[in-house]
Structure 1
Amino acid sequence: MTLIIYVKPTGCFGCDKTKQKFTEAGIEFTAVDITTNSEALAYITDELGYSQAPVVVYEKDGSEDHWSGLNPLKITQVINLHLR
């Protein structure tokens, strides 16, 4: 499974909580700072259509999903998929 979280490094409660939940579950992820990475910012806004951080993109077994904002239900779904 690949998990990427596009974040703002400061002042983003949703970013911090999302990273915390995956860390507590023992799931590795890559955090990408959208305030310093213009390509990442363009990807989440232009390609994915999001304007709110965090943006979570995960892939498992060729299937990809993504969402924007703090979403406890989606976080739980990804954690459960990882445990399978």
Structure 2
Amino acid sequence: MVTVTVYSTGPSCIRCRMTIDKLQDKGVTPVVVQLAENPAAHEYVTEELDYSEAPVVVVEDGTGQDHWSGFRPDQIARVARAA
């Protein structure tokens, strides 16, 4: 089972919306976390993962974490194939 979490800065983030829409188009339903509403998630993304731009996508498939930042159709396609 693959879990995909998209950390977003909100509805005004075009790359966030495009990432969520593309995942859904490929049959992947992501968990969406709004960074402005969740200080712990913001700290996780900026401190632990060391990203400074949204969206941040974290994929957990039971073998360890896989993550990236930005709108990445190539990564979305790869995740959709594995889901």
3-state SS, counterpart of residue 36 of structure 2? coil
Q: What stretches of structure 1 of length at least 5 have no aligned partner?
A: none
Residue 12, structure 1, aligned to residue 37, structure 2: no
3-state SS, counterpart of residue 75 of structure 2? helix
> Where does residue 34 of structure 2 map in the other structure?
33
1:30-76 deviation digits (Å, cap 9, x = unpaired): 00000110000000000000000000000113232000011111111
- Aligned counterparts of 1:56 and 1:30: Cα–Cα separation in 2: 10
Per the normalisation by structure 2, the TM-score is 0.92
Q: What stretches of structure 2 of length at least 5 have no aligned partner?
A: none
> Where does residue 53 of structure 1 map in the other structure?
54
- RMSD in angstroms over aligned alpha carbons? 1.0
> How much does 1:29 deviate?
1.4
Paired amino acid for 1:15: C
Residue 65, structure 1, aligned to residue 53, structure 2: no
- Aligned counterparts of 1:40 and 1:63: Cα–Cα separation in 2: 18
3-state SS, counterpart of residue 22 of structure 2? helix
Runs of 4+ off more than 4 Å: none
Per the normalisation by structure 1, the TM-score is 0.91
Deviates more, 1:43-52 or 1:7-16: 7-16
> How much does 1:13 deviate?
0.9
